[in-house]
A and B are shown apart, each in its own frame.
Chain A
Amino acid sequence: MDKKDEKEKIGVYVCHCGTNIAGVVDVSEVSTWTAENLKDQGVVISRDYKFMCSSLGQELIEKDIKELGLTRVVVAACSPHLHEKTFRNACSRAGVNPYLFEMTNIREQDAWVTTDKAEATKKAKSLIGAAVGRVAYQQPLESLLVPIDSNVLVVGGGIAGIQASLEIANSGQHVYLVEREPSIGGHMAQFDKTFPTLDCSACILTPKMFDAGNHKNITMLTWSEVEKVEGYIGNFTVTIRKRARDVEESLCTGCGICWEKCPKKVVDNVFEAGMGNRKAVYTPFPQAVPNYPVIDRENCTYYLKGTCKACEKFCPTGAIKFNQEDEILTVKVGNIILATGFDLFDSRKITQYGYGRLANVFTSLEFERMSNSAGPTAGRIVQRDGKTVPKVVGIVHCVGSRDKNYHEYCSAVCCMQSLKFAHLVKEKTGAEVYEFYIDMRTPAKTYEEFYHRLLEEGTHFVRGKVAEISDATRLPGEEGKLIIQVEDTLTGNQLRVPVDMAILSAGLESRHDAKEVAQKFGISCSADDWFIERHPKLDPVATMTDGVFVAGACQGPKDIPNSVAQGAAAAARVLSIIGQGEIEIEAATAIVDEVTCVGCKQCVASCPYQAIQYLEDKGKAYVQEALCKGCGTCVGTCLPKSITLKHFTDEQIVAEMIGAMRVMKSFELMEVA
């Protein structure tokens, strides 16, 4: 190993961090020791200070750089995750390249892992020895500046996606809004009334849908899906498949004659939650945006048998065009917002609740459709026979949520939703309503007051998780009813509650293809398959992948106000990036030496961020700096050692090790040859 010829001038700063570090490590002793013992390694000044991250602390560094001509700086304090940037900026301000700074952690990795003061002080010295050894070999680096394409991709046209799109579009930037279903609107379009205001869901949603659908800055692509995503922040290339509707959009007026005349009825399992029918050519609901229909090829008589074509015959503008091809679009965007929403937990899994086996057990979505005046029963609350109005209704909380057998988490919306159901049932039928809950979770604004309203309306609240719903009647008065078996935990009585109808407040789950979608966009999923945010408290809409954001229920169960807020938040983040015009990328990236690279492509396969390309014409690997996260996997994989990770070169790492070992040898903690 070559020894550095010119001695660098290194300043070392040991932070007390109040008593966090100083309570265990003898910081002043460490500082004095450093000045004496690491002088031959280039340390010209060593100080200790109460709070290095404060402006006074940073000024110490800046002053020493100016007055003593320091060329390298080491700070021994907390984790670089917290303050590496702070000190790098201080160096920058004083004229030292930020990558000539090294931070060593004597808090989380020293003071906070032991109570032995002597050991802690020794370790601090070894850590500083290591940092000093390393910093001498560090090189100045410049951050990469990447231009930002101002187009934005929003995936998912539910309320979160719509909100995000409108915010961005209104600011003057262009949005591609991609939605899998034939219309935007998402789950919110299925609901009847929303809590706690009891606003009609469609009434508050459709104006936004219309705005989004007609906005000059929004290119709405429904019945479409993203197939591939390549690139990095500011520079994504996205391939979108616009599926064939078999309808010529420029000719279609949305008059509806085609679906009126279509003879083929299909059970609508998506929008009507299986409660109603649609035709083979259809729009999912009357206020659909766009209102061009779509032909369901799997159920269309023409595609199945080659006959019919009634829609084509009757269309006044000739807009029906069978055998259209899917369109593949490739667009360039700078940022992506994922707002793909949730799926409802499949209540059939809880066999003791009888959903799917006992006729009059309904799920929450089924009930929403029933209560919706544009729904399959025109808003009447009736049993499965379509006629009988129930006299007693039971609403069951926590179906598939808060249960280790299914999902351990709480689905956030079901308590409020159940209260809403109780109100709607009472209002429309005058029935007796029972609600079975474990806890009543009504945290947000006016939610608790909504609960009070339901208490006043005379809903019977039973605190107990429903054990079983069955049709095994045996007592007089139970004939023909469903028996809900539960313990009323507040009075300690086991109850048999006969009801005509049971509504299951099923939990929220991630979309069934969430994992595949996450992989496509280069982000991760949690154990429950929700998309993972960058920080659960302070950064809920960003992900670990720069330029990809999440909003709404796909990040975790939440209600409409929170989805809207997250949609707007993600939009704001995107707009701030676009506003900067270009963005700084961390400079500690890998670089391939083309001379020694043999083109084996092992690095391409091993890169977890797909940041390495294989250049066919040169037969060499190439690292796309903006995608590289500096993890070092490729460096380890590369057999001819052609890849170097800037700021983590072999030289620097070995110097760090030797720096530590030298100190440990002096404490006779190890033998060094």
Chain B
Amino acid sequence: MKEFAYFPGCSLEKMASSYHLSAMETTKKLGVKLNELDDWNCCGATTYFYIDELLAYTLCARNLAIAEKTGLDVVAPCSACYKNMFFTVAHLKKDEDLAEHVNFALEEDNLHFSGNVNVKHLIEVFAQDIGPDELKSKITKPLEGIRIAPYYGCQIVRPQKEKEDVEQPQFFEEIISAIGATPVNYPLKMRCCGGSLIISSRTAALTMVRNLLQSAVDNQATVIATACPMCQVNLEVYQQQVNLEFGTNFSVPVMYFTQLVGLALGLSHKKLGIGKEFVAMAPSLLAIGQE
């Protein structure tokens, strides 16, 4: 039984609660245990790095120190949380000075971080720890004929960690194939959704979202699969805004990959948090897993 320290991140409480629900249900079904970190705090998103680097690292280090106590590796479902914590580990391991400062602060919460934690993104657990073959073997309702556009977004693969392929990775497509669906050749799969620009530079972000939606439509995608709550919100919740701004009429469902995996595993809509969408699911998907 694979076990991980689970860092949900702030948005998974309410905004992306369906991601949280589907993540817990699917991992349970696939034999992976996610233990939520005790008393975790916000990772700082991108915003903390706008103010003070040391502070931002400290925020992440607190979570990592809590995880280190459990002896487990950390899994984060949100790309920003993942990126922040991964690089916090990397920088603290390399820079003793920084580690000293941070640990000095952590003392106030009786914590200490020694660097013995690995950080993974939730999708890596599916792509590597579980793997497409095992995933395929557990599927009871393959999503045949469903065209899924794999939307990687930015911070899962970038910045580059080792020498992995940052331009044309295939692990998301492999998961989609494993659940019986058709991965769509989605040329903008690595392009940014705008992130927090949806607040600070709305028009710029809406243009980026529009391009992503258009590309999905052009490639006849039934649904866009995401692995980050920010991406999902930008692409789905603001779809109406995109239509108003540009005079388009997009109606593209955007779901979390865990929800899609869950459907293929035969889990119910309720368990997967389906029902809170702004854009209705495609009829073909709706048909699967109806109670």
Chain A residues engaging chain B, CB cutoff 8 angstroms: 351-352, 357, 470-472, 474
- Distance in Å from the Cβ of A390 to the closest Cβ of chain B? 21
Question: In the complex, what distance in Å separates the CA atom of A352 from the CA atom of B190?
Answer: 11
- Distance in Å from the Cβ of A640 to the closest Cβ of chain B? 49
> Do A472 and B165 have beta carbons less than 8 Å apart?
no
| Contact code string B187-222 (vs A, CB < 8 Å = 1, else 0) | 110000000000000000000000100110010000
Report chain B residues within 8 Å CB of A472.
Answer: 187-188, 215
Report chain B residues within 8 Å CB of A471.
Answer: 187
> Do B214 and A474 have beta carbons less than 8 Å apart?
yes
Q: Is the interface of B mostly helix, strand, loop or mixed?
A: loop
Known: A472-B215, A474-B211, A474-B215. A352 touches B167 (CB 8 A): yes
Report chain A residues within 8 Å CB of B187.
Answer: 470-472
Chain B residues engaging chain A, CB cutoff 8 angstroms: 165, 167-168, 187-188, 211, 214-215, 218
> Do A357 and B168 have beta carbons less than 8 Å apart?
yes
Question: In the complex, what distance in Å separates the CA atom of A352 from the CA atom of B158?
Answer: 14
Report chain A residues within 8 Å CB of B214.
Answer: 474
Question: In the complex, what distance in Å separates the CA atom of A357 from the CA atom of B218?
Answer: 19
With A352-B167, A472-B188, A474-B218 known, 7 other A-B pairs at CB within 8 A are A351-B165, A357-B168, A470-B187, A471-B187, A472-B187, A472-B215, A474-B214
The listed residue (B167, B211, B215, B218) touching A351 by CB distance below 8 A is B167
Report chain A residues within 8 Å CB of B165.
Answer: 351
Q: Is the interface of A mostly helix, strand, loop or mixed?
A: loop
Question: In the complex, what distance in Å separates the CA atom of A351 from the CA atom of B168?
Answer: 7
Question: In the complex, what distance in Å separates the CA atom of A357 from the CA atom of B165?
Answer: 15
Question: In the complex, what distance in Å separates the CA atom of A270 from the CA atom of B271?
Answer: 58
- Distance in Å from the Cβ of B187 to the closest Cβ of chain A? 4
Residue of B nearest to A351 (CB): B167
Question: In the complex, what distance in Å separates the CA atom of A471 from the CA atom of B215?
Answer: 11
Report chain B residues within 8 Å CB of A351.
Answer: 165, 167-168
Can you give 12 A-B contacts (C-beta < 8 A)? A351-B165, A351-B168, A357-B168, A470-B187, A471-B187, A472-B187, A472-B188, A472-B215, A474-B211, A474-B214, A474-B215, A474-B218
Question: In the complex, what distance in Å separates the CA atom of A474 from the CA atom of B165?
Answer: 26
- Distance in Å from the Cβ of A59 to the closest Cβ of chain B? 62
Report chain B residues within 8 Å CB of A352.
Answer: 167
Question: In the complex, what distance in Å separates the CA atom of A228 from the CA atom of B109?
Answer: 69
Residue of A nearest to B211 (CB): A474
Question: In the complex, what distance in Å separates the CA atom of A483 from the CA atom of B273?
Answer: 39
Question: In the complex, what distance in Å separates the CA atom of A472 from the CA atom of B217?
Answer: 12
Residue of A nearest to B185 (CB): A471
Report chain A residues within 8 Å CB of B188.
Answer: 472
Question: In the complex, what distance in Å separates the CA atom of A471 from the CA atom of B165?
Answer: 19
Report chain B residues within 8 Å CB of A474.
Answer: 211, 214-215, 218
- Distance in Å from the Cβ of B261 to the closest Cβ of chain A? 27
Question: In the complex, what distance in Å separates the CA atom of A486 from the CA atom of B211?
Answer: 18
Residue of B nearest to A483 (CB): B187
- Distance in Å from the Cβ of A228 to the closest Cβ of chain B? 36
Report chain A residues within 8 Å CB of B218.
Answer: 474
Report chain B residues within 8 Å CB of A357.
Answer: 168
